[in-house]
Structure 1
Amino acid sequence: MSEENSFGLTEFQLSDLLKTNPKVTICDLRKKEDFAKGHIKKSLLAKFDEEKLLDVSQTSKVVLVSYDEKQAKEMASALRSHGFDTYYLIGGMRNWTLGLYCTNVSYVGTGYP
């Protein structure tokens, strides 16, 4: 694995990580409407804002997901430079095939499941 991709996870690696590590935080960087249409279980809607994401606990692994990986990869790289254990989903949500959870768009960001 090249250094550039050393912090990228495939969907199967992420799925295994979710099963074995309860301290994984998944931050979805897509638009609220896209998140509502389908997201990875237990993921949180987040904005592409380095300062906001820096509030995530440094004791957990953080996995960023975006539509096609570009945004998540850039943000993961920025957070890693601040000492966070941060990864991104290779291929982004467009390549995720392991099931999605849908939410009413009016509930997104309210803490309601």
Structure 2
Amino acid sequence: MTIKVAINGYGRIGRNVLRAHYEGGKKHDLAIVAINDLGSPETNAHLTRYDTAHGKFPGKVQVEGDAMIVDGDRIKVLAQRDPATLPWSALGVDVVMECTGLFTSKE
């Protein structure tokens, strides 16, 4: 069974989560289906392709409308400040990786 993952926050930590997923060889167990970040899909794609610490992303990264296409996988890009308004259930998300550093309590 594939676990559907969303990344909330696409700064250094969020991008490293995506990079680890695609470089780690466990693609069949997990699928990143959404990223929530206030940056545009074009900006997020550029930051995925080129990283000053880790170098160029080894896969193919494209943008189609409100999504990034990473090695053929469509990842919806959202831009919501309030995580309560995000459509995680509509996207079938099983796990959200909280990568903003803003939400440190259960409330």
Using the size of structure 2 for normalisation, the TM-score is 0.32
Q: Which has the higher contact order (CA 8 A, sep 6+)?
A: 2
**Higher helix proportion (structure 1 or 2):** 1
**Higher strand proportion (structure 1 or 2):** 2
